[in-house]
Amino acid sequence: MNNWEQVFYSNISTYIGLINKTLSTKFPLTKLGQYIKLKGGYAFKSSEYKTTGIPVIRISDFQNEKIVLDNVKYYQEDDNLKKYELYEGDIIIAMTGGTIGKLAIVQSGLGKLYLNQRVGKFEVINNDDFIQEYVYWIARGVESKVKELAWGGAQPNVSSKQIENMEFSLPDKETQKNVIIFLNDLKNNSMSKSQYFDKECEENIINLQNSGSYVKRLNEEIQTQETLLNKLRQSILQEAIEGKLTADWRAAHPDVEPASVLLEKIRTEKERLVKEKKIRKQKPLPPIEEGEVPFEIPENWEWCRLGAICYVIAGNNFKSEDFNKKNGVRTIKISNAGVNELVETDDFLPYGFDNKYSEYLVKENDLIIALTRPYIAKGLKVSKCNLKYHNSLLNQRVASIKNIYNINNEYLYLYMKSDFVLHGYKNKFEKANLQPNLKMSDITELNFPLPPLQEQKEIVKKIENLFSLCDAIEAQIDQSKTNSESLMQAVLREAFEG
């Protein structure tokens, strides 16, 4: 389906609405039920389905306006169910669920079919009143009204009576024929007449179609720009963690203390903290084998495990009955984990728990990482702990990455947001066909390219400068989105109010 047709089918309910409004000046609006009934299907019992027999058409069995029998259920043939049979050319509509309002036209060659409950069939009372295709276009007009009506309530449901109470004009067959020709010519972008049924209405609709096509192309271009901008940000991060972003800086600062010295200082500091019982002693980390090194880094950098430079701890399994929503010690749960910053919620544990469970206290700038949930598809949920959550207690299914020796926290955070890390986790779970649940070793054994401390600051500064340019581009893209939406709304207002 090309761009033009996509716009046509996206806007068809609007076009039908305009046509209906225009025709109502000559042919009074009448309740649909006076000339078309909506017949519901039969409540088949799933326990009585067969492996062969007559296909039962459920909402899941039609898509893209066609019946699809791939996963259909069968029922034993029964003469008492004759009134629920479907025939070639019948138009059916979903009357419940997330796809409420979707249509299908029964195609030829399917044989006998039964209609299931919560699927309605458009049944013309007097065929002499209609050209058959015109019923389809009426159904198209019903489709959007059904969605608006159904989603206004708590559950997406609509009744046959509600549909039959919708008002439409019933024009004579000559007008029906001209409307059908107009809509098909518009769909095919091949207008063959200067006027079909009403010149002003037709011009309004053609204007809408042209504007919609333009806006769709504009939105596709905006989407392309967003994709390219995201790739640019990731490219900047990748250049940064490979040391390419600061190559000139290193050349100008050849005497900077190498990362190997920094790594030894961190090891000494961790030993001191363990000895003083301020942190737990963690399991020895496996050495990085030669085949594990994913890319080259500068000579004065070091590959190490994330757990070698940070203290990583999983949250405690606090009892659910201890939580309240009023006051106490603020808690970080998995529901707080966001993509960038913590999502603010109010969950508290009793006062005194911060002393009793002090090892689980989270400090400002600690990185919070979600251990469960499907975070892989849209990006790992790594959040910065903000001031509001300073000295909060860490709950289960969330881990904290603590900086224990002056590693630049922003560099650490940006590394965790890089495609290298995100895709690494994604590939790991996809290849093993596993649910996206992180173990502590998945975090502590993550390979980390450690630059000298001074260079970390320079990397962050360069990223911030480049990202500020990206932010300016993003603002322009957002403005283009706003302009695109405003343009379409203005065209719609003009079409309906003109």
Average pLDDT of each block of 10 consecutive residues along the chain (498 residues)?
89 91 93 94 93 94 93 94 94 90 93 94 93 92 81 73 92 96 95 93 93 92 94 95 96 95 94 92 90 92 95 93 88 83 86 93 91 59 87 92 89 91 74 72 94 96 96 94 85 70
HSE-CB at 453 with a 13 A cutoff on CA atoms is 11
| The pLDDT value given to residue 152 | 56
**Pair 205, 15: CB distance under 8 Å:** yes
Q: Which helix (H) or strand (E) element contains residue 222?
A: helix 199-241
Residue 8 makes CB contacts below 8 A (sequence gap 6+) with 186, 187, 209
Of 171, 213, 214, the residue nearest 196 (C-alpha): 171
| The pLDDT value given to residue 151 | 62
| The pLDDT value given to residue 490 | 81
Rounded distance between C-alpha atoms, residue 298 and residue 247, angstroms: 9
| The pLDDT value given to residue 337 | 80
| Beta strand pairing call for 329-332 and 392-394 | parallel
| The pLDDT value given to residue 377 | 44
| Beta strand pairing call for 167-169 and 361-362 | unpaired
pTM of the full predicted structure? 0.75
